Every structure is written in C-alpha cells, then in structure tokens.
C-alpha cells in the first residue's frame, strides 16, 4: 500500500475498513486533559468488550436465580463451562478441539505442563529459553531446574541475538542445540518476543526441537489473537497463553493450554491429576480410583472460576464473528502505516526495532536521539491521553489492534508523538 501523511487518508481507510464496526463493541478510556483516548496497549491489556461485561452479568444473574443448580440449569451450565471456550481456542490456535482447554492462568499452566513434559535425566536435563525472555518464563524454567536438582546458572541455556542487534536468528538456535550435544530436555520459547515484537518462526522451532530429541513448549501470550497459528501441524508438545492481551478477556482472566494430540491417549497418565481432570461422566460418583478425561481436558486440576472465564467466552465469540486472516491483513496495514509514519516524521530520532518481515500488531519504538529522554517522552504521551507501554530500559511498545483500533488512531499517535517531542 502507498501511504500518505494526511488525516483524510487515514479517515478514508477507516471508511473502507470492513472490520471497523467491531470498534463500537469495545469500551475505551475516558477523555483526559482535553484529549480523546488513543489506546495502543492491547499487547498488555486489551479493551473491555461490551459482550464480556454482559456475559459476566448473565452468570451473576444465573447464580442468583439457580444457586447450586446453575451447574446444570444455567444458560451456559457451569459443569461443562470450560467447553464453551474449546471451539474458539481451537480455531485461534490451529488445533483440534481435543487439544485445547481453558484452565488456570499462564504461569500456572506452564508449571502444570512442564510437570508432564520436562522429565530430565542424567544426560538430558537442560532447558533452553531466549536470553531476553519475559521474567515469568525465566522464573518458571529456573525453578523447574532447581526442583529437579539442577543448577539454573549452568543448565538454563540462552538463545541470544547477535552482537549489536535485537533480532533472534534460527540458525543460531540450531547451532546452540548442536553444541549442547543432546543434553537439552526442553525448549521453552515464545511465539512473539515480548520486548522487540519479533514474531518467531514457530514451525521451524518445533522442527529443530524434534530433530534435537527434546520437548518443545511455546508461550503464546503475545501471539494468540495476534498472528495466525497452526499448533496441530507445527506439533509442539505443549503451549500456553493468557487471554487478557489480544483476546481482551480482562485482567487475570482464565488462560488456555494446548497439548498435542499425540500425548492425549487415555493410557498416558504422565500429568498432575485433579478434580476436573477426572472423566465428567463419573466425576460425582466419588470413586477412589481416577478415570481420565479425554484429550486436553485431562490436564485440568480444578473447576474453572466461572466469572473469570465468562469474558473469555465472550471474546472468542467476537473473534468467531471476525476472522484471523482478515484481522491479520488489517494488522499488517495498521503497523505498516505506523512504521511508515515513524520513518517519515522521525527518521533520526525514533526507530522501530521490530523486524519488518516478522511482526504482528506490536511495534517497539526506541529513541535513538541521545538528546531525548525516552522515559520523559513516554510520560509526556500519557498526558496527551496516549496509552502505550513502557519497557525498561528504553522501549515504548505500541500495538494497534485490528479489532478496535483505527487508521485514525495510528495517525493521531504520530501527531501526538510529534507534539510530545516538541514539549520535552
């Protein structure tokens, strides 16, 4: 697309946008300091869908109306409530319905899944993460190593960008695995690198893991609802994701998990067991013996908190009304427009460190002009009612989300960024 640095150009794109009507289904922050909101922070917390609030109210009403009988008599019965998310999760992740389940929160799911898939022995015990991994992933991996008697200082192996770059390269990962000489038990890697916004080649990562003889787990926190996924075909052993970023399900909402079909045999009982992992048909017979549920449901531990899962189900309904190919196409145009405006208006001052050939909704902007205080610039944007995301030490993350952001939002961000720069 040939972009133009004019507000009318952005407005014309909005008028021709087939997804524009979804914007009206979300609640935006209030006007502040005389400025309408420019919300570009869906990579951290998505906006509230009106349907999400409606679904929570409906569950509260069913609780008031039915009390305990709501497990069977609610409009969406609570006994099988997690299955309301199954089809939506399967569609968003490119999985079979039997491979996905709504449960817990992201870090809990990583630990639960690693109980099955990180099974170290004397010769194969190391975990590979990327060097700038989100802290919780590092904490998970390090604590799992310690629990099994290994030393994170030696046995947590980092895949790093090359000198003077922030981009991860697959051939470096291949070389790293070869140098480890069969000692790696698990790759725990993201779908999208949270700091730079680089979309990693998940298919190739899974292939490298298989060839190296180790398990593969993916953290899809910044990928689900952002980029197209094909988990069944790519065949990681497991994956997990939160739902409060691009899936707009609210702070702390129930997360999702994927376990590949090849591990979902009822004869495979290599997982932690709990109340909700027992087969639903006999769960309330209170037997002493465990009867495994089918598919990914087997990895559940507890009954899901209904009020935290309701907004997830609402959000998945909205995604079902749109389509990921259409959303990704619009996302490419939104971020393309934003990157073009940054390059055009601030060529020697601000640079996107997100690889142009490997990006989703997010652009990570770095201030290159040493005369400009990057944190002061971010704070000034906040006074202009721009909601972006600061990440230490020097990056402003912005994410125009195709479900509710407009081309006019992108243009207005460039306008206010210019205004902020002249004020500091």
Within this chain, do residues 302 and 222 fall inside the same structural domain, yes or no?
yes
Within this chain, do residues 28 and 144 fall inside the same structural domain, yes or no?
no
Token pair recorded at residue 16: 């021709």
Is residue 251 a contact partner of residue 229, using CB atoms and an 8 Å limit? Answer: no
Mark which of 321, 339, 363 sits at the end of a domain: 321
Q: How many domains does the chain have?
A: 2
Phi, then psi, of 273 in degrees rounded to 5: -110, 145
Within this chain, do residues 368 and 229 fall inside the same structural domain, yes or no?
no
The radius of gyration of the chain's CA atoms, rounded to the nearest angstrom, is 23
Within this chain, do residues 334 and 306 fall inside the same structural domain, yes or no?
no
Distance of alpha carbon 272 from alpha carbon 115, whole angstroms: 7
Whether 54 is in a domain gets the answer no
- DSSP secondary structure code for residue 187 in this structure: E
Within this chain, do residues 165 and 252 fall inside the same structural domain, yes or no?
yes
Within this chain, do residues 198 and 336 fall inside the same structural domain, yes or no?
no
Per-residue pLDDT of the chain (424 residues; tens, 9 = 90+): 899 999 999 999 999 999 999 999 999 999 999 999 999 999 999 999 999 999 999 999 999 999 999 999 999 999 999 999 999 999 999 999 999 999 999 999 999 999 999 999 999 999 999 999 999 999 999 999 999 999 999 999 999 999 878 999 999 999 999 999 999 999 999 999 999 999 999 999 999 999 999 999 999 999 999 999 999 999 999 999 999 999 999 999 999 999 999 999 878 889 999 999 999 999 999 999 999 999 999 999 999 999 999 999 999 999 999 999 999 999 999 999 999 999 999 999 999 999 999 999 999 999 999 889 999 999 999 999 999 999 988 899 999 999 999 999 999 999 999 999 998 7
User: What pLDDT is stored for residue 121 in this prediction?
Assistant: 97
Mark which of 295, 321, 347 sits at the end of a domain: 321
Q: Does the pTM of the predicted model rise above 0.85?
A: yes
Q: Is the peptide bond before 377 cis (omega within 30 degrees of 0)?
A: no
Within this chain, do residues 382 and 400 fall inside the same structural domain, yes or no?
yes
User: What pLDDT is stored for residue 104 in this prediction?
Assistant: 97
Within this chain, do residues 348 and 419 fall inside the same structural domain, yes or no?
yes
112: containing domain? 76-321
Mark which of 321, 337, 371 sits at the end of a domain: 321
Here the CATH number for the domain that contains residue 415 is 3.90.1150.10
Is residue 237 a contact partner of residue 260, using CB atoms and an 8 Å limit? Answer: yes
Whether 1 is in a domain gets the answer no
Within this chain, do residues 223 and 88 fall inside the same structural domain, yes or no?
yes
Whether 129 is in a domain gets the answer yes
Distance of alpha carbon 181 from alpha carbon 142, whole angstroms: 21
Within this chain, do residues 316 and 408 fall inside the same structural domain, yes or no?
no
Is residue 127 a contact partner of residue 155, using CB atoms and an 8 Å limit? Answer: yes
Here the CATH number for the domain that contains residue 234 is 3.40.640.10
Q: Which residues contact 171 (CB under 8 A, 6 or more apart)?
A: none
The residue count of the chain comes to 424
Within this chain, do residues 249 and 379 fall inside the same structural domain, yes or no?
no
Q: Which residues contact 81 (CB under 8 A, 6 or more apart)?
A: 304, 306, 309
Is residue 421 a contact partner of residue 371, using CB atoms and an 8 Å limit? Answer: no
Residue 72, SS3 per DSSP: helix
Across the beta sheet with 350-352, the strand order is 350-352, 363-367, 395-398, 389-391
CA angle 52, 324, 83 (to 5 degrees): 50
Within this chain, do residues 92 and 24 fall inside the same structural domain, yes or no?
no
Whether 65 is in a domain gets the answer no
Q: Which residues contact 197 (CB under 8 A, 6 or more apart)?
A: 43, 222, 353, 354, 359, 360, 362, 363, 364, 397, 399
Comparing C-alpha atoms, which of 349, 374, 382 is closest to residue 424? 374
């Amino acid at each position: 697309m040939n972009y133009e640095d004019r507000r009318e150009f952005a407005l014309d794109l909005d008028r021709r946008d087939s997804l524009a009507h979804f914007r009206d289904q979300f609640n935006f922050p209030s006007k502040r300091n005389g400025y309408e909101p420019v919300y570009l922070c869906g990579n951290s917390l998505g906006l509230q869908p009106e349907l999400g609030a409606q679904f929570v109210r409906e569950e509260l009403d069913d609780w008031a109306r039915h009390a305990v009988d709501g497990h069977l008599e609610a409009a969406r019965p609570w006994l099988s409530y997690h299955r309301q998310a199954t089809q939506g999760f399967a569609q968003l992740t490119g999985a079979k319905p039997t491979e996905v389940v709504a449960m817990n929160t992201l870090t809990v799911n990583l630990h639960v899944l690693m109980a099955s898939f990180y099974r170290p022995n004397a010769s194969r015990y190391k975990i590979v993460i990327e060097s700038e991994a989100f802290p919780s992933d590092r904490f998970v991996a390090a604590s799992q190593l310690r629990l099994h008697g290994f030393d994170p200082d030696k046995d947590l192996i980092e895949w790093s960008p090359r000198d003077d770059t922030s981009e991860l390269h697959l051939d470096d990962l291949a070389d790293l695995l070869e140098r480890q000489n069969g000692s790696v038990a698990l790759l725990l890697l993201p779908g999208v690198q949270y700091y730079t916004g680089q979309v990693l080649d998940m298919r190739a990562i899974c292939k490298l893991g298989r060839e190296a003889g180790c398990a593969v787990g993916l953290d899809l926190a910044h990928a689900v609802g952002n980029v197209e996924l094909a988990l069944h075909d790519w065949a990681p052993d497991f994956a997990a994701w939160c739902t409060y970023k691009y899936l707009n399900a609210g702070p702390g909402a129930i997360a999702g998990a994927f376990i590949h079909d090849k591990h979902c045999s009822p004869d495979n009982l290599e997982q932690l067991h709990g109340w909700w992992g027992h087969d639903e048909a006999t769960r309330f017979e209170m037997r002493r013996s465990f009867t495994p549920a089918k598919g990914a449901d087997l990895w559940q531990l507890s009954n899901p908190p209904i009020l935290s899962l309701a907004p997830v189900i609402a959000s998945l309904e909205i995604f079902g009304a749109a389509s990921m190919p259409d959303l990704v196409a619009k996302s490419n145009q939104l971020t393309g427009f934003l990157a073009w405006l940054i390059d055009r208006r601030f060529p020697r001052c601000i640079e996107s460190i997100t690889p142009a050939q490997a990006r989703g909704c997010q652009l990570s902007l770095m201030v290159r002009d040493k005369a400009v205080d990057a944190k002061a610039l971010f704070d000034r944007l906040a006074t202009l009612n721009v909601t972006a995301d600061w990440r230490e030490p020097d990056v402003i993350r912005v994410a125009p989300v195709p479900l509710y952001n407009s081309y006019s939002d992108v243009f207005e961000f460039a306008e206010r960024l210019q205004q902020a720069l002249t004020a500091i």
